[in-house]
Amino acid sequence: MGKEGVTHRHGNEEEERMADVVELITQDHRTLEELFDELQKDTERRPELLDKVAALLTAHSRAEEERVYPVVAKDAGERDEAEHGTEEHHEAEDMLERLRAMPPEGREFEERLKEFIDAVKHHVEEEESDILPALREAVSAERLQELGAAFAERRREELTGTTAARR
Closest approach, Cβ 29 to Fe ion, in A, equals: 6
Provide, rounded to whole angstroms, the least separation between the CB of residue 54 and Fe ion: 15
Cβ proximity of 124 and 29 under 8 Å: yes
Of residues 20 and 64, the one with the C-beta less far from Fe ion: 64
Tell me whether residue 104 or residue 157 sits nearer to Fe ion (CB atom): 157
Q: Is 78 exposed, middle or buried (0-12, 13-18, 19+ CB in 10 A)?
A: buried
Report the amino acid identity of residue 30. Answer: R
Q: How many CB atoms lie within 10 A of CB 36?
A: 19
Q: How near is the Cβ of 28 to Fe ion at its closest, in Å?
A: 6
Q: Which amino acid type is present at position 14?
A: E
Q: Which residues would be at the binding site for Fe ion (CB under 5 A)?
A: 25, 64, 127
64 vs 158 by CB, closer to Fe ion = 64
